[in-house]
Structure 1
């Protein structure tokens, strides 16, 4: 049997890295005690700070990042796989929003830098320009767990289906989109986006989330989700408080879903034809 129990750890990361590590570690230990062998944390696990200058004061380069070092040791102590949804780490004169997969030996098995930058102006007046602080990644990342093939993505990436489709074409059975979704966009789109990526690719989607009001004033939606390949929510924290949720992942369900609806196999290439309507002048 290649079934395994996965967990989403939901956080409310603040400005103090040490405090965030403590809460995250406690919830990871609880999830492991509940039987989880794969545990995912949300985007910006180490710190949430909106000010670019303040963020740069609080973070380090990857090799010295205390959250990465601590959770590597914790993965080894617990004998589990930990997917750090992402950390803010220094990258030249900018910042990388980078996720990590840690093996039960404590090492980094894979890393992924968020490709799509959240540069938006929301109707409630919120304005975000991630590209002013973060250096975007340029490649999608796929790796193998002992039980299934895993695809890495982060937050805003979930609105760009091509990433997930390409991962599915490469045999990925478990897609991921750990996030710090704003409350406004989360209330409108969080569930439907997660379920859509699962349904159209016939794959599990695991997405741990940040939730609640943070020290820097932002509000995130929470509602960490695990969705099965048929689009059914099999695990959810139905609130924005810190905690964890588990679900059993059955990779065989991916094969079944792709047999029922062979959308990947049925894909065809196509060209685009634009037909312009010309209005005749009336004389």
Structure 2
């Protein structure tokens, strides 16, 4: 996606993608981090985040999942919390409307890049404190993470120990860090967890002035890149997941079974 500062417009993109994805035979639609609102101007974004709108939009996406008969893994959206800070929240909407599963981003992106970009996610966002995975998705057991979480192997070790079949890593990666680290880290996380990785990404120049790297990827448990959407433009792409590949890889390299606790 190339999400902007108008949540209604971003919602329309997701709704159209859900219809197209289902028509193309997909079982799950994955969207990037901050799909519904990508706005670095926090004062401008505050009115939407701290209103009833995030809950209303989540309900509408759940209705789309049911209507289109497709699960929707919303990469994330900003929501308010009782602490006074916001949460960067990923949501998985089952088409059956049984429940929504949510995950709040654990690791905050607080950096000063050589390019001159400065990000202080923790000044507005509260870190999540729970590892989240869910059973019975079309991809088997699915683990939820968001963007900067990618740099912290312990989280993926925990998801690997839960024997996740796939892990979602929606992102809005900067261009400098994307060029340097995106592909290699996604492949590493897939290999470490012996799981598929599905990484839907923001791409291009955005209304708020930022530029994101793109290259939405699907990586198999062996580290092979099955899909790379490139870094030029948003769009919809399809990838078939063969869950039998997981057992093949775990039999060849049983690192999850052989793992031991490392003493401090």
TM > 0.5 between the two?
A: yes
Is residue 2:5 matched to residue 1:19?
Answer: no
Q: In the aligned structure 2, how far is the partner of 1:62 from the partner of 1:142?
A: 27
Cα shift at 1:268: 2.0
Gap regions ≥5 residues in structure 1: 1-10, 273-283
SS for the counterpart of 1:123 is coil
Deviations 1:155-205 (A, max 9, x none): 000111111111111121101110111111111111111110011221100
Is residue 2:212 matched to residue 1:220?
Answer: yes
Q: In the aligned structure 2, how far is the partner of 1:62 from the partner of 1:188?
A: 39
Cα shift at 1:60: 4.1
Gap regions ≥5 residues in structure 2: none
Q: In the aligned structure 2, how far is the partner of 1:67 from the partner of 1:154?
A: 20
Q: In the aligned structure 1, how far is the partner of 2:255 from the partner of 2:80?
A: 40
Q: Please give the TM-score of this superposition, normalised by the length of structure 1.
A: 0.89
- Please say if residues 140 and 163 of structure 1, whose CA atoms lie closer than 8 Å, have aligned partners that are also in contact: yes
Is residue 2:241 matched to residue 1:249?
Answer: yes
Corresponding residue to 2:142 among 150, 153, 160: 150
State the structure with more CA Rg. Answer: 1
Corresponding residue to 2:61 among 57, 68, 71: 71
Q: In the aligned structure 2, how far is the partner of 1:23 from the partner of 1:241?
A: 14
User: Measured at CA, do residues 36 and 59 of structure 1 come closer, stay the same or move farther in structure 2, by a change above 3 Å?
Assistant: same
Cα shift at 1:271: 2.6
Cα shift at 1:140: 0.7
2:254 is aligned to 262
Aligned pairs for 1:112-127 within 5 A: 112-127=103-118
Higher helix content, 1 or 2: 2
- Please say if residues 28 and 71 of structure 2, whose CA atoms lie closer than 8 Å, have aligned partners that are also in contact: yes
Task: Return the structure number with greater relative CO, CA threshold 8 A, min gap 6.
Answer: 1
Corresponding residue to 1:170 among 156, 162, 168: 162
Q: In the aligned structure 1, how far is the partner of 2:147 from the partner of 2:236?
A: 18
Cα shift at 1:246: 1.3
Cα shift at 1:244: 1.5
Cα shift at 1:109: 2.9
SS for the counterpart of 2:230 is coil
Is residue 2:184 matched to residue 1:192?
Answer: yes
Cα shift at 1:134: 0.5
Cα shift at 1:270: 2.9
The alignment covers a number of residue pairs equal to: 262
SS for the counterpart of 2:108 is coil
Deviations 1:191-223 (A, max 9, x none): 111110011221100010111111111100111
Is residue 2:62 matched to residue 1:85?
Answer: no
Q: In the aligned structure 2, how far is the partner of 1:91 from the partner of 1:71?
A: 20
Cα shift at 1:62: 6.8
Q: In the aligned structure 2, how far is the partner of 1:240 from the partner of 1:72?
A: 30
User: Measured at CA, do residues 64 and 88 of structure 1 come closer, stay the same or move farther in structure 2, by a change above 3 Å?
Assistant: closer
User: Measured at CA, do residues 51 and 107 of structure 1 come closer, stay the same or move farther in structure 2, by a change above 3 Å?
Assistant: farther
Please, what is the CA RMSD of the aligned residues? 1.5
Q: In the aligned structure 2, how far is the partner of 1:186 from the partner of 1:154?
A: 15
Q: Please give the TM-score of this superposition, normalised by the length of structure 2.
A: 0.95
Is residue 2:229 matched to residue 1:237?
Answer: yes
SS for the counterpart of 1:187 is helix
